[in-house]
Amino acid sequence: MVVRRRGSIQDVPSFLDAANRGIRSKRRHIRFVGESPFGPRLRLRRFELGNGLRICTVVDKAAPVVAYHTWYRVGSRHESPGKTGLAHLLEHLMFSATKTRPAGEFDALLERAGAESNAATWTDWTCYYENLPHRYLELAIELEADRMANLVLKQAQVASEKEVVANERMYRVDDDVEGTATEKLYATAFRKHPYRWPTIGWMDDIRGLTKEDCLQFYRRYYAPNNAVVIVVGDFDEQTALEGIREHYGTYRAANLPEEHTVRETALRRTKPLQLFLPASTEKVQLGYRAPPFGHPDHVPFTLAHEVLFGGRASRIYRQLVNEQELASECRASIAPFVYAGLYEVWLSARPGQRGNAMLEIFDQEVDRITRVGVDAEELDRVKNRYELFLLQSLDSVGGKAEQIGFYETVLGTSEGPFERLEAIRQVTSKSVQRVCKKYLRPAGRVLLEVFPEEQAA
């Protein structure tokens, strides 16, 4: 590549006209999708190659570093019964050999460049990232493009990585109280939707996966038209786009499988469960059906969650930990899923305290919100808390790239973080009250009680 002064393209139409002139292959054409502010001082631009690869760029000269993220729109929900864990296993195998590089060279080259590199898999997506000195951006482009299309798998390697994943599952799920309980919670709350199985997969399925299973999954979903590349940091935008076109532009778009949306049945009555596990105290886990991340209700529900569980000033922490001294731990999460997920609540009792006492106080606090609502001072506090959390997540180039990749993959919009922040600011007490009434109904939840094993008798 020709090294240029780092910065944004000043005249995008002229650049595209010159870049596409004489390029016969439509797969290699670069198209400008649009641009928008990304915070008060940065611009986010979206481009697309003719083969469907989406590209998001944010030039940020705050430090001489760059983040290069690749997000694929595939996760555990794209698996099938009997083949669970494929997306996660393939994530592990993506650090293997390619047709042009032996096993181990991917990591060795990035370590030599001083890069931070890793990956993650979840229900709706898989992402790979490199955060590195800006002068090594071309290396990241070349390596990620290579493993998008040229992965080589061998039977021994697949068998070895399956053992790694099986051990990871034993540590995080089978030998972990919360991991076991959460897996049971989802398997009970979902009867039809693929969210019912864990991202790491069922153990029997992991053991049964083959090299052919992995290659088939890879060829089906690892394609330019199922991915978005995000470049954030101190780099030359024109050089980066030309490099991406050079390394990805020969790849063909894949015929992606049509996804059939599964409508899950509503939770119309409490589903009680009891587990006796090697726990030191009683615990309660709750699962309520929650709106998809892109649903308008997800925003006020996020603030309802902050009112209940957002830090030490939250209602549940004050009641269960500080005042009543019933719990040693209390937390919850609302899953940012593409489809309707769960609102999970986890309450862990202090020694000698009972789980049903914690549950009673939790229900009382939810009922108080549904009857009385939230006053202006409390609502302002949780809004400020959420705003701080979101802005802190955008503090680094890696954080910016992660947020852009997530919103682009889940919602199809790169400006999502700031749009969500503005939506949070508009939430009223009545909307928080409304979503609590709608979603946090005691009659529509999974109630999972965990007891120490010695209480089984």
Residue 394's pLDDT is what? Answer: 95
% of residues, the chain, pLDDT over 90: 91
5: confidence class by pLDDT, cuts 50, 70, 90: low
Residue 2's pLDDT is what? Answer: 38
The model carries a pTM of 0.95
Catalytic residue among 35, 48, 79, 91: 91
Question: Which stretches of 375-452 are DSSP H helices?
Answer: 376-393, 397-410, 416-425, 429-439
What number is the average pLDDT over the span 41-60?
Answer: 97
pLDDT in tens, 161-210: 999 999 999 999 999 999 999 999 999 999 999 999 999 999 999 999 99
- Give CB contacts under 8 A, 24+ apart, made by 3-10: 3/236, 3/239, 4/236, 4/238, 4/239, 5/236, 6/59, 6/61, 6/134, 6/234, 6/235, 6/236, 7/59, 7/61, 7/236, 7/237, 8/43, 8/45, 8/57, 8/59, 8/237, 9/237, 9/238, 9/241
Dihedral sign from CA coordinates of 36, 39, 41, 46: negative
Greater pLDDT, 1 or 342: 342
Look at residue 361 and give its three-state secondary structure.
Answer: helix
Q: Check residue 125 and report its DSSP letter.
A: -
Look at residue 388 and give its three-state secondary structure.
Answer: helix
Question: Which amino acid would we find at residue 126?
Answer: T
Residue 375's pLDDT is what? Answer: 95
Please give the Cα distance from 342 to 195 (Å, whole number): 10
Please give the Cα distance from 450 to 329 (Å, whole number): 14
Q: Among residues 366, 372, 361, which one has the least CA distance to residue 443?
A: 366
Q: Among residues 351, 343, 357, 350, which one has the least CA distance to residue 309?
A: 343
Phi, psi of 65 (to 5 degrees): -130, 165
What number is the average pLDDT over the span 315-332?
Answer: 97
Determine how many CB atoms are found less than 10 A away from the CB of residue 327. 27
Please give the Cα distance from 457 to 453 (Å, whole number): 9
Token code pair at residue 237: 């935008």
Is 329 a residue of the active site? no
The number of angstroms, rounded, from the C-alpha of 408 to the middle of its chain's C-alpha atoms is 11
Residue 177's pLDDT is what? Answer: 97
22: confidence class by pLDDT, cuts 50, 70, 90: confident
Q: Among residues 55, 139, 11, 100, which one has the least CA distance to residue 408?
A: 55
CA dist 425 → 88, 286, 291, 412, 419 (Å)? 36, 28, 19, 22, 10
What ranges make up the beta strands (E) of 115-249?
A: 116-121, 126-133, 227-233
Phi, psi of 286 (to 5 degrees): -120, 145
| Secondary structure string (H, E, C) spanning 163-200 | HHHHHHHHHHHHCCHHHHHHHHHHHHHCCCCHHHCCCC
373: phi > 0 → left, psi -120 to 50 → alpha, else beta; which?
left
1: confidence class by pLDDT, cuts 50, 70, 90: very low
pLDDT in tens, 73-84: 999 999 999 999
Q: Please state which of the ranges 8-12, 45-49, 355-359 shows the lowest mean pLDDT.
A: 8-12
Mean pLDDT of the chain: 95
Please state whether beta strands 54-59 and 227-233 pair in parallel, antiparallel, or not at all (unpaired): parallel
Residue 3's pLDDT is what? Answer: 41
pLDDT in tens, 211-242: 999 999 999 999 999 999 999 999 999 999 99
Q: Burial level of 397, CB count in 10 A (0-12/13-18/19+)?
A: buried
Please give the Cα distance from 274 to 415 (Å, whole number): 43
The number of angstroms, rounded, from the C-alpha of 264 to the middle of its chain's C-alpha atoms is 21
pLDDT in tens, 249-294: 999 999 999 988 888 888 888 999 999 999 999 999 999 999 999 9
Please give the Cα distance from 220 to 213 (Å, whole number): 11
Please give the Cα distance from 373 to 394 (Å, whole number): 31
Token code pair at residue 419: 């749009």
Q: Among residues 6, 18, 19, 41, which one has the least CA distance to residue 244?
A: 19
Q: Burial level of 147, CB count in 10 A (0-12/13-18/19+)?
A: buried
